[in-house]
Amino acid sequence: MIQNLQGLDEVLHPQVWDVVDCWVADASAEDRAWLREKIRITAFGRRAVKRKKKLGKGVSDDRARQAYDALLPSDVVLRHAWLFKQSWVEESADELDDDDLDFRKREERISALRGEAVSEVFAEGGVVAVMRLAEMGQAQHNVGWFLSSSLADAEQLKDALKQIVNGKPIEGTKASVVGGALAEARNRGLDVLSSIVAGEGADTAVPILLAAPFDRLTWDVAEKAGLAGRYWKEITPGWNRTEDDIRHAVKKLVEAGRPRAAFQFAHFELKELQPRDLFNLLDAIRRGSDEAAGTYLLDPHDLRGAFELLNASGQMSTDEMAGLEFAFIDVLDDDEGVGLVNLGRQIEAHPELFVQAVRYVYRRDDEGNDTPELEISEEQNSARANSCYRLLERLGAIPWHDENGELCAERIVNWVEQVRAGCAAVARSGVGDSHIGQLLSHAPAAEDGVWPCMPVRDALEQVANEDLGRGLQIAKRNSRGAHWRGEGGAQERAIAAKYAGWAKAMEYTHPRVAAILHELELSYLHEAEWEDNEAKIMRRMRY
């Protein structure tokens, strides 16, 4: 029955204490300690005190106090285990008034209690008792911290930690206790790490280094001990906000073949890295690593932030950045504020890259075979095709611009003709034209609001054909995206009217472009009619 006490009502019921009085005599020390803690956080908890005041009852509180005092463990470890049950100590109403919201004072009070507890445990049972205390809860790091704070003498602390290590690799509770002690010692300016590592074999020394604070002093000890290579291979990077240390840690992690771990470690402080170092970090991620799958996953938002920093720095060449953009094409999107800036420039200057992307994505239209390339695996071929498809879908920069950065119809036409010649040479003319149309759909409007702007309008008038027009139309319709709609086709008719107005504005000057716009107008009018009919059917079904 005692072990089944779970609810507040059971603990407060007066008859419970009669049972407790009978049970205490034969209970084990561990069970007595468990029940004492149960009483502390329930019978003396805030909820219980509030309920007692509300009901005007106090008898059970007296009985609870008698039982609580009678259950005081004689074992020093059991007596203080409640302070290290978990990192956050749940205090009773007796220990913390409801109106006490000063968390700094609360932390000071808990720290003082914990410090006294560990001092008493160590004084009575030494390292063995301290480790027993740590194993009884989940705050092992705190046990180590207060063990160090209670041992002011560095030699005494070193001896205590040497006993814990005992010449064997540490893990679990031992690693947490040692880590907490080393952190507290470092906080006081004591260097006990060097002396603990000294004389130990690599299998013992490395786990000690891994448990130590993640900072320059630990790295120096690892370097001097000849263990830096293994340390950087195995360390789980911790928090570190010194700019020089961030740069150093990123460099070492990349050298150890762990670029994803380096990026995750530094993702809040990417601006602190030199542009070249940041580029090298992303380039190392692009090349791949031996890091286990599912570990140190990269956040797209952070990757986009890294590209923004690199583009703003102006220190990387277009070629370098274009290669990096292609590797991370999945996370780069104009809608998120970071587009394929450098890839667009490369494709503008080298139309054969556009042809190559079309070739990798689509089959020939003449059922022939392409010239064999260097052999690549089926998986690599699929990955390349997927990336090229996303490149064609996401390109948004219109080629070409003149020396003043203005779109130039003559240069656009020249670029389109080169792409067409290249696509024809690899038997992919139709899909090539379709993607040219899709690219030109990103043209801006003219100053008078008519779309597209005059240079693109002039170029389209010269190069437009059925496939190009179809690609442009599909892209324009897709650009509408998700949208809210009301009943019927009013929205579609408004869009159709917009295209009709644009077509009318250029009906005599650019008849080919006007024809493409009229087809868009008709497609939306057909859709409006369908939506009207759908609305009529739905109204009839309601009745």
* Tokens linked to 1: 């029955």
How does pLDDT run along the chain (543 residues), one tens digit per residue?
455 544 444 445 566 666 766 776 677 777 777 777 777 767 666 565 555 555 555 445 676 777 776 667 778 888 888 889 888 877 665 555 545 556 788 788 889 999 999 999 999 999 999 999 999 999 999 999 999 999 988 899 999 999 999 999 999 999 999 999 999 999 998 889 999 999 899 999 999 999 999 999 999 999 999 999 999 999 999 887 788 999 999 999 999 999 999 999 999 999 999 999 999 999 999 998 889 888 999 999 999 999 999 999 999 999 999 999 999 998 887 655 678 889 999 999 999 999 999 999 999 998 888 877 656 778 888 889 999 999 999 888 777 777 777 899 999 999 999 999 999 999 999 999 999 999 999 999 999 999 999 999 999 999 999 999 999 999 999 988 777 877 888 899 999 999 999 999 999 999 999 999 999 999 999 999 998 898 888 888 876
Q: Supply the pLDDT for residue 83.
A: 87
Q: Supply the pLDDT for residue 271.
A: 93
Q: Supply the pLDDT for residue 107.
A: 84
Tell me the C-alpha distance between 353 and 385, whole Å: 13
pTM of the model: 0.78
Q: Supply the pLDDT for residue 108.
A: 87
Cα–Cα separations (whole angstroms), residue 197 to 141, 324, 470:
19, 42, 71
- Would you say the C-alpha torsion 103, 105, 106, 111 has a positive or negative sign? positive
Longest dimension (CA), the chain: 106
Q: How distant is the alpha carbon of residue 523 from its chain centre?
A: 43
Q: Supply the pLDDT for residue 45.
A: 61
Residue 333, beta-bridge partner list: 338
Provide the percentage of residues in the chain whose pLDDT is more than 90. Answer: 61
For 401, the 3-state DSSP assignment is: strand
Cα angle at 467 between 465 and 473, to 5 degrees?
A: 100
What is the DSSP track for 170-229?
Answer: --HHHHHHHHHHHHHHHHTT---HHHHHTT--HHHHHHHHHHS-SSHHHHHHHHHTT-HH
Residue 407, beta-bridge partner list: 401
Q: Supply the pLDDT for residue 14.
A: 62
Q: Supply the pLDDT for residue 522.
A: 96
Average predicted confidence (pLDDT) for the chain: 86
The one-letter code for the residue type at 295 is T
Q: Supply the pLDDT for residue 80.
A: 86
CA-based R_g, the chain, Å: 36
